[in-house]
């Protein structure tokens, strides 16, 4: 590839500038990758904590639900009176050019949809714990989706950085060396020619 470049000073200056830009681009991509990796690792740690909390909360919720079923009978009719959650909203923010989601639920206070006479404290506890699980699950979905998108961003960044490091920069290095060697050889030839001309003139 380098041998195809015409060895002129103009080409040498142009390729040196391209080489400098490629090295700067590699440094920026390397920093971006490191930032994305740190962000991903932090989110993975948070996801583990939330998943553990979800498991604990689910256990308490089902325990309370089982107690409610024992005291009230099967509560599926009561549960059917609770409306389906439709207050989920999703927005996006950018982390080093990677769009990651932000999932939020409407912060509505918990309502008693089934009245106090027909229910028990165990059902109220089950309802509260399942509501906690719902909100934790929304948070976990946000984090897991963010981790997936960040991982994709890391792969793309790594691929571009590798292309610069292993292909583009070595190619420019080779072209700079080829042109520099050719220009130096040309200068030596020119110097030798001038010496011959000088000797000829001196003899005359």
pLDDT of residue 73: 73
Query: Nearest 5°: CA angle at 25, between 101 and 32?
Result: 30
Reported as a single tens digit per residue, the pLDDT across 99-129 is 999 998 877 666 666 665 666 777 788 888 8
Task: Give the separation between CA 98 and CA 156, rounded to whole angstroms.
Answer: 11
Whole-number average pLDDT of the chain? 86
Virtual torsion, Cα 18, 24, 30, 36, nearest 10 deg: -110
Q: Which percentage of the chain shows pLDDT scores above 70?
A: 87
**Token pair for 88:** 């989920």
pLDDT tens-place string over residues 2-38: 447 888 889 999 999 999 999 999 999 999 999 999 9
Residue 2 confidence (pLDDT): 44
Distances (CA, A) of 92 to 33, 50, 53, 100, 136: 20, 21, 25, 5, 19
């Amino acid at each position: 590839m380098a041998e195809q470049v015409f060895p002129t000073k103009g080409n040498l200056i142009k390729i040196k500038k391209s080489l400098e830009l490629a090295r700067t681009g590699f440094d920026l991509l390397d920093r971006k990758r490191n930032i994305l990796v740190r962000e991903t690792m932090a989110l993975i740690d948070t996801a583990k904590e939330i998943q553990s909390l979800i498991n604990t909360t689910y256990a308490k919720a089902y325990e309370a639900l089982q107690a409610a079923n024992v005291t009230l009978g099967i509560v599926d009719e009561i549960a059917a009176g609770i409306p389906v959650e439709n207050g989920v909203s999703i927005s996006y923010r950018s982390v080093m050019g990677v769009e990651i989601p932000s999932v939020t639920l409407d912060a509505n206070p918990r309502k008693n949809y089934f009245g106090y006479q027909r229910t028990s404290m165990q059902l109220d506890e089950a309802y509260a714990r399942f509501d906690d699980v719902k909100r934790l699950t929304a948070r976990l979905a946000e984090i897991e989706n963010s981790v997936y998108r960040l991982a994709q961003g890391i792969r793309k960044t790594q691929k571009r950085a590798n292309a610069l490091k292993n292909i583009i920069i070595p190619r420019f290095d080779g072209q700079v060396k080829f042109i520099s060697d050719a220009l130096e050889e040309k200068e030596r030839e020119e110097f030798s020619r001038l010496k011959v001309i000088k000797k000829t003139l001196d003899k005359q």
